Structure 1
Amino acid sequence: MALRPVQVNIKALDESAVGRFWAEALGWSVSGGTPGVTSYVGPVGDFVWPDPVAVGVDVVRVSEGKTTTKNRVHLDLATDSAEHQAELVARLQALGATPAHVGQGEVPWTVLADPEGNEFCVLEPRESYRDTGPIAAVVADCADPRAMARFWGEAVDWVLHEVTDDHAVLRSARGTGPYLEFLRTPGVKTVPDRVHLDLLPYPGDDKAAEVARLRALGAGDLDVGQGDVPWTCLADPEGHEFCVLAPS
């Protein structure tokens, strides 16, 4: 049994506006979802969900805006040249992104925030991200990357590429799409996550059995006021929220 990361879930006051921003940012399109509740952003072309390669973006309407607290999960965007990086940063700012300061100091990447304040990075060209697509990585702050590698390495069907005391890196066994990275970062969780991963069982797998397996690995149940829904909300051992979706 295994689960696959299929989308990044972003909470927003205005899901349509934030969905449009991320579609333009990634060169993707907005499709699917429920009008007034969610906007799904995925690669341009015939709509297929889940995408066989990309991890999509699901923007969900909520009633409360982002606090000033830095998100513990963010996206890194890939570029293929210094010119591309500069052009992308300029285009994103024209779309409504703003510079963000999260204590990064002098670094070769650019930290921005989307129109509702969700931080993300536009990376300088890196060989390791040349074939990821527009999203280079989904990045989570954590206290113990080795512990996160143990949990997430068992939770999903992605391959562990690297693990040290400072970071852990996973990627689809297909060698395509973005990476999932855990970075050792000071601080602890103080507010609900604004950005999280959604996981999906493979066709024929038992969602309830998968949820039980995750609990045995150390996941905890999570009540975010979701009510009676077909997905299950959980938190990993460091409190990162995620959802296990029902197979379609």
Structure 2
Amino acid sequence: MYLENIVFDAVHPRSYGQFYERLLGTEKLTDSEHGYETRARFDADFALDLCFPTVEQIPQRTGRLRLMLRGRQEQFHEARLVSAGADVQTFEDPGGHLFRADIDGPEYAEDTARVEAMVLQSADPWRDAQFWSLLTGWKLVDVPGTPALMQLGVNSPVLMFIREEQAKPQGVKNSMHLDLRLEPEDDPQEVYDMVQDAGGVQQHPDWGQLPWKVFQDPSGNEFCILPAYAG
């Protein structure tokens, strides 16, 4: 099983996805009535897909998953500046999600910004870091004083865990979440059992028949486990 997607619920998926394509230099994969998908490639061995499924409305936005980006000031001109420090600024993207940007000077030579980290709010950061390490196979590190996961041997962002600002509201779905994909050799039921034994909770949303399974981590953050690709 491996981490595959960062998912943003989107009322206007095309314009939302194209914003990140311009900001991060990602590659469009799909554009349909069901949503928009674009790929952020970090090196030859690792990529993450940014997915923007179409939703009619987002009843209550939750900021429990946020991105940390790096780039030059002018590369963030399409985002709305929320707060500014000397080297770190907070922006709002077109979907209303906040992200943090480390602002570099002219020495930053890349043509687009890049994702440095995904930051997940947690009731118990060290516990949840261990839970997600089991899911992803990424290794636990201290960055600094904050537990984080890194995929060793590839140029990937880190997955960081910070103490939650408030408990996850009951009955409210995160408007951003992560997806994992099964490998062909994985036994799906064994994986689902492993997730629940580790403290995950399977959800049963009233969305009809789905080819994937929906879970919450021990702090209530949703994630999906997608079936392995055929062949």
Aligned partner (choices 58, 61, 65) of residue 65 of structure 1: 58
TM-score scaled by length of structure 1: 0.80
Taking the aligned partners of 1:122 and 1:108, their CA distance within structure 2 comes to: 8
Name the CA shift for 1:224/1:75 in 2 (closer, same or farther; >3 Å): farther
CA RMSD of aligned residues (A): 2.5
Residues 184-203 of structure 1: pairs in structure 2 closer than 5 A:
184-190=163-169, 191-203=172-184
Partner of 2:35: 38
8 A contact 2:62–2:175 mirrored in 1:
no
Q: CA deviation at 1:173?
A: 2.6
Matched, 1:244 2:231: no
Does the C-alpha gap of structure 1 residues 43 and 243 become closer, same or farther in structure 2, counting only changes over 3 Å? same
Q: How does 1:70-85 map to 2 (within 5 A)?
A: 70-79=62-71, 84=72
In 1, the alpha carbon distance for the partners of 2:86 and 2:216 equals 31
How far apart are 1:11 and its partner, in Å?
0.4
Which string of whole-angstrom CA distances, capped at 9 and with x for unpartnered residues, describes residues 69-123 of structure 1? 55100111123xxxx2x12222xx2xxx21236xxx8463111111120111112
Conserved 8 A contact 2:148-2:160: yes
Contact kept in structure 2, 1:4 and 1:158, CA below 8 Å: no
Is 1:139 aligned to residue 119 of structure 2? yes
Larger helix proportion of the pair: 1
Q: Shift in Å at residue 41 of structure 1?
A: 0.8
What's 2:161 paired with? 182
1:88 is aligned, of 54, 61, 75, to 75
Q: Distance in 2 between matches of 1:157 and 1:64?
A: 34
Q: CA deviation at 1:186?
A: 2.5
Quote the Cα distance in structure 1 between the aligned partners of 2:143 and 2:130.
Answer: 10
Is contact 1:193-1:241 (8 Å) kept?
yes
Taking the aligned partners of 1:41 and 1:219, their CA distance within structure 2 comes to: 28
- Relative to total residues, which structure has the larger strand share, 1 or 2? 2
Residues 107 and 235 of structure 1: CA distance in aligned 2, closer, same or farther (over 3 Å)? farther
Match status 1:160 vs 2:147: no
1:100 corresponds in structure 2 to 82
- 1:24-50 deviation digits (Å, cap 9, x = unpaired): 1111122136x1112111147xxxxxx
Distance 1:25 1:66, change over 3 A: farther
Whole-angstrom CA distance in 2 between matches of 1:147 and 1:184 = 11
Q: 1:196 to 1:213 in 2, by over 3 A?
A: same
The one-letter code matched in structure 2 to 1:207 is: P
- Please report how far the alpha carbon of residue 178 of structure 1 lies from its aligned counterpart in structure 2 after TM superposition: 1.0
Q: Percent identity?
A: 24
How big is the shift at 1:174?
Answer: 2.4
Mean Cα deviation higher: 24-33 or 197-206: 24-33
Aligned residue identity for 2:199: G
The 1-side partners of 2:86 and 2:133 are apart by 29
Instruction: Give the secondary structure class of the aligned counterpart of 1:161.
Output: strand
8 Å CA contact retained: 1:145, 1:163: no
